[in-house]
Amino acid sequence: DAGITQSPRHKVTETGTPVTLRCHQTENHRYMYWYRQDPGHGLRLIHYSYGVKDTDKGEVSDGYSVSRSKTEDFLLTLESATSSQTSVYFCAIGKRGLTDTQYFGPGTRLTVL
């Protein structure tokens, strides 16, 4: 998975609790992304980062926040988890240049009860 790890890999939590997912890369890529994958929707971009401390919203950012204090780490926080945030979350990294190829991590399966 191109030097990308995600933690935890599985999590079950209750509605209203805060949750933080971590993405760690060893590739020194500038760009990092968080997606959620749901049946019938493909992958939808939540937030992305184009450098340390530089982040912006994606297509489905409501209820999520991110932080990137180091090149290698990109954190996704669900401030107050809801059942609609039950999903599989993927982190991706990329370096722009000749292509916009992104490399994906193994994913985190989150269940909000």
The residues of the shown chain that bind other proteins, judged by CB under 8 A, are 1, 4, 31, 33, 35, 40-45, 48, 50, 56, 58, 90, 92, 94, 96, 99-107
Residue 16 vs 106, nearer CB to other proteins: 106
The whole-angstrom separation of Cα 95 and Cα 101 is: 8
Residue 85 vs 102, nearer CB to other proteins: 102
**Least distance to other proteins, CB of residue 17, Å:** 25
Give me the half-sphere count of Cα atoms (radius 13 Å) on the Cβ side of residue 102: 15
**Least distance to other proteins, CB of residue 73, Å:** 18
